[in-house]
Structure formats: structure tokens, C-alpha cells
Structure 1
Amino acid sequence: MGILGKIFTWWDGATIGTSMFSSMNGEHVGTDAQGNRYFRSTKKKTVEGRERRWVIYNGANDASRVPAEWHGWLHGAFDSVPESNLPPPRIWEADYTPNATGTSSAYRPAGALERGGVRAPATGDYEAWSPDGGNL
């Protein structure tokens, strides 16, 4: 991305202003497996008495890219950095997959226009309800 992109396009990664703010007003506390960097404020506390915490994404800004353990840290569920108290991964845990909404990889059920728009015919197993006890 060129210098103009870094100045104006906030939706496609951190802008120059965000990067400068993070380096001047924040302390880098960790990086997750996807390369997202996490910061905490070195300045004053917020009104509620909690420190300000934020993430600089490695690539496009997509909140679904924040792992659960870092999400808890960002929202103040615990104070210590997640890397210091992570349990070992479970055998059933799946690796991260990006949100596919709006892409060609998105789920499209049978009958969706993108899959031809043809639904399976009705089977006749539906009976409409009527308040007087009879069917319509």
C-alpha cells in the first residue's frame, strides 16, 4: 500500500496516524499468531479507572481476527497478558478461518440465487394452524 493509502484508508490496515499514536502513547504488550499487535496506554487511565487497550491488525481491519484470549484482555476480563497464562490447545479446537461473508466462499444454501435459485419442491408435510382447531 502506498503512502496515500496509509494516510487515508483506515479500513485496510493501520493509518500513519494510528501507528504514530501507538508508538508514542502506547506500550507494545504482545503479538498473536496472526501478527496482530496489542498495546496498552502509557498515559492516564480512563474515566472508569481502566487502562486503554487496542489492537493494530496485521492486514485488513477485521474484528473476527482477534483470538478469544486477546479479546478477553482487550475488554478487561483479566489484567495479565494472555500469552502468560494460556492453556494448551485442545484437540478439538479449529484454526482461525476468516469471516467469509460477502465473498465467493460464503455459505449459500440450496435455493440461493447464487446457486441457481432453484429450491427443492414442497413435500406436503405442512399443515397450517387455525385458531378454531381446524386446518385451513
Structure 2
Amino acid sequence: MLGKIFGWTSGATIGTLFTIGKRGTLVGTDELGNRYYQSRDNISYDGRKRRWVVYNGYAEASKVTPDWHGWLRYTYDEPPTESPLLRRRWELEHRPNMTGTPLAWRPPGSLAADGQRPAAIGDYEAWTPE
């Protein structure tokens, strides 16, 4: 309960849930468990209905899938629940940003990987002042 009152990193706070209940309408949920809402009234500066996401778990913007991102940014008028985004067979599944986690990519020679840099291969010439 205290997490809902004071914490915003693991979902919506009580104040956010109150605002959603008062002004928002659930539009859909994605495969990651994020919930997407749209305002019932026109409260944005340009007269459009506001759209927002309540993350499932830690609030990380890269957890929004491409189809829902397009809807949130008004690229698409219809949400993916009504008009799904056409997926090409060569497209990969969406993955959230792994930077800062144990699953982050670490290139060879990185101190975070194993700390061993490959030996110079002879094409490097050290600079010396004249």
C-alpha cells in the first residue's frame, strides 16, 4: 500500500489511479501488460484527447511497443486493438532497452565484459610530440 502512495516506479500511484478513474477510459493492453488510456474530455492544449500509458512494473519508455507508440503520439487514430499494425515477416519482436541490466550488450574488450582487451594488430601508431 505504501508503494502505491509514495512510489511511482512500479506502476501508478493512488493519485494517478484516481485521475484515471475520473478522466480516463481504458483503450487496451499490450502483450507486456501495459495499460493504455484516453481522456474522456478534450483537456490537451490542441483540443485532442490526451493519451497515456500506465506501465506494468518499472516505468521504462522502451517497454511501449511500436504499434502503441504510434497511437500514443497520434500517428494512428485507431488503437492497435481496433486496427492492428501490419507486421512484416522480417521484423523482430519488440524488446525493451536492456542498458544498465545484466542482459545489456557488452562489446569485446569492454571492462564490463571480461576486462581483457585484444592485443593491437599493428595498424596503430602512437602519436609522439615533435
Superposition TM-score, scaled by structure 2 size = 0.85
**Aligned equivalents of 1:13 and 1:66: distance in 2?**
14
1:43 aligns with 2:41: yes
SS of structure 1 residue aligned to 2:105: coil
Partner of 1:101: 99
Partner of 1:59: 57
Q: Structure 1 residues 115, 29: closer, same or farther in 2, change over 3 A?
A: closer
Partner of 1:26: 24
Which residues of structure 1 form unaligned runs of 5+? Answer: 129-135
Q: Structure 1 residues 124, 62: closer, same or farther in 2, change over 3 A?
A: same
Percent of aligned positions that are identical? 49
Q: Is the Cα contact below 8 Å between 2:44 and 2:50 reproduced in 1?
A: yes
User: RMSD over aligned Cα, in angstroms?
Assistant: 2.1
Which of 65, 69, 73 lines up with 2:67 in the alignment?
A: 69
Q: Structure 1 residues 59, 114: closer, same or farther in 2, change over 3 A?
A: same
Deviation at 1:59, TM superposition (A): 1.6
Which residues of structure 2 form unaligned runs of 5+? Answer: none
Q: Structure 1 residues 87, 73: closer, same or farther in 2, change over 3 A?
A: closer
Q: Structure 1 residues 98, 47: closer, same or farther in 2, change over 3 A?
A: closer
Q: What code does the residue aligned with 1:117 have?
A: G
Per-residue deviation, residues 44-94 of structure 1 (Å, max 9, x unmatched) = 332212211101112211111111111111111122122222245332222
Q: What code does the residue aligned with 2:63 have?
A: R
Q: Aligned pairs, how many?
A: 128
